[in-house]
Amino acid sequence: MKIALAQLNYHIGNFDSNTAKIIEAINTARQNGADLVVFAELCLSGYPARDFLEFKEFIGLCEQSAQQIAAACEGIACIIGTPTPNKYKSKGGKDLHNSAYFIADGKVQQVVNKALLPNYDVFDEYRYFEPETEFQCVEYKGRRIALTICEDLWNTIENPLYITRPMDKLIEQKPDVMINIAASPFAYNHDEERIAILGNNAKRYKLPLFYVNHIGAQTEIIFDGGSLVFGSDGNLVDELPYFEEKLAYYTLNDDATVTPAQPATLMPERQSDIEQIYQGLILGIRDYFYKSGFKQAILGLSGGIDSAVVCALAAEALGAENVMAVLLPSKYSTSHSITDAEDLIKNLGCKTETVEIKNITDAFETALHPQFDGLPFNIAEENLQARSRAVVLMAMCNKFGYILLNTSNKSEAAVGYGTLYGDMCGGISVLGDVYKTQVYQLAKFINRNSEIIPENSIVKPPSAELRPDQKDSDSLPDYDTLDTILVEYIEKRLSSAEIIQSGYDETTVRRVIKLVNTAEHKRYQTPPILRVSPKAFGMGRRMPIVGKYLS
């Protein structure tokens, strides 16, 4: 049997484009002699469709797409993912299942529903779907297929999140092969985990395994592809490319071995975290603009490392000609900041404008003079600068149709080192899931072939330049220390006592955690953040705003 894996980039709610893309892949696969082409989980709707799933009209359009695809399936079978009405609804439960359709001979032959519904981090599947409790293999061309959906194969033995394991039921029916359709978001450590967990499944059940993932970004959630094929010994037969679409073919031989029809694209070695983050962010920016119907990005360029990295990423993702980098110097801006920014623009070839903000902040201070007279310069005046810049950038968005890229990094977002409605503005946050120490690594990666980010932006001490001679280190621990504490608290959810015990200074730890906790109200209002780590701010981390935090 010849099986095609279709690793495609879908667009949530765009039924015309998703359906056309799927039918095109079916036609190509048929021309290439495939018996079966496999698409990803919920490919008709895109993932995650969120509360679109609560609209009956939306579910109806998914079914319409499925029927169009079925009609195109003459002489070939396919597997697609789509939401379907809960078949047990008369007994109660949620309205929907997260389903796979097995389609052959122009119609839906069998419906398989997901049993294990992820409902943690960015996942909300139990909000919409009723879990399946009965399991039946799919018969096709003399083969018995154990078809499962993503998390169904993810109930790890060490710390099972669910009380059932669908494959333990399906294996009783003596299947010949496992197929898993997935929507498994990118995080820089996720490829290795995926290969390990899926390989263990192949080995445990002694079956070849075909696994198809999405690629493409859906606002903050990025899918990296990397669809996988395993032999029944658990060894990797093939690994589809990361961050790009691909249609690949395999022969499932009678002895249950698998032969790729094209040269296997197994990675010779794992990509570094930073290279993966780089590619994920490029895809995240590109799809955010493309799927929103926008082309042109704008950002404020300070001469510092964060905006320089965002500018370089945007130029790569959108083309330098579609990036407007605006210099917004104030009286506290240093001359090296301006020259560093200019050097970057020269290296990238993007568009640029300069708007001085001194007269604007003066106008605010004059207008507020009756209220502020006699009071010392403080954070109010500092923030006036950041907010004046944001107003200028947003005015340019409104006038010319740009989308503003936010340039805050995860370390700043964590400790609230940023101005709400100032540098925290933007349509999408590019680095909000990238710690400052990783931003430096990204800069070096970007410069791997030639200097794009000016060396001076990398080596100079970071500063917000909102008052004379300001340095980040005036108010924050050094970033190596800060980032390690943040990972312990945010990613690992350790208590201050545990972090202190592992060797960090008590005062620093308590101060950092307090800063993180008191910035919840700021993070609530930040733009969506491209997610590249296993624990990003946003939908994946839901903390109370008004609450008494431990510290």
What residue type is 177 in one-letter code? V
Cβ nearer to its own copies, comparing 40 with 179: 40
Residue 281 CA from chain centroid, whole number = 8
Which residues lie closer than 8 Å to 111 by C-beta, 6 or more apart? 84, 87, 97, 99, 100, 101, 102
Cβ nearer to its own copies, comparing 253 with 400: 400
Which of the residues 62, 137, 150, 397 is marked catalytic?
150
Active site residue 41: yes
In the complex, what is the shortest distance from the CB of residue 436 to its own copies, in angstroms, rounded to a whole number? 23
d(CA 377, CA 384): 11
Give the residue from 322, 305, 264 showing the smallest Cα distance to 439.
Answer: 305
Cβ nearer to its own copies, comparing 34 with 318: 318
Give the residue from 191, 223, 227 showing the smallest Cα distance to 287.
Answer: 223
Instruction: Give how far Cα 280 sits from Cα of 291, 396, 430, Å.
Output: 16, 28, 10
Cβ nearer to its own copies, comparing 17 with 271: 17
In the complex, what is the shortest distance from the CB of residue 2 to its own copies, in angstroms, rounded to a whole number? 33
Residue 156 burial (C-beta neighbours within 10 Å; 0-12, 13-18, 19+): middle
Q: Are strands 228-230 and 209-212 parallel, antiparallel or unpaired?
A: antiparallel
Active site residue 514: no
CB distance 97 to 117 below 8 Å: no
Which of the residues 21, 41, 43, 73 is marked catalytic?
41
Which of the residues 114, 291, 410, 522 is marked catalytic?
114
In the complex, what is the shortest distance from the CB of residue 249 to its own copies, in angstroms, rounded to a whole number? 30
Residues linked to residue 477 through DSSP beta bridges, in sequence order: none
Give the residue from 289, 335, 336, 347 showing the smallest Cα distance to 325.
Answer: 347
Cβ nearer to its own copies, comparing 56 with 449: 56
In the complex, what is the shortest distance from the CB of residue 332 to its own copies, in angstroms, rounded to a whole number? 17
d(CA 197, CA 436): 31
Cβ nearer to its own copies, comparing 295 with 460: 295
d(CA 102, CA 137): 11
Active site residue 350: no
In the complex, what is the shortest distance from the CB of residue 459 to its own copies, in angstroms, rounded to a whole number? 32
In the complex, what is the shortest distance from the CB of residue 444 to its own copies, in angstroms, rounded to a whole number? 30
Residue 192 burial (C-beta neighbours within 10 Å; 0-12, 13-18, 19+): exposed
Secondary structure element (H or E) that encloses residue 355, with its range: none
Q: Which residues are catalytic?
A: 41, 114, 150
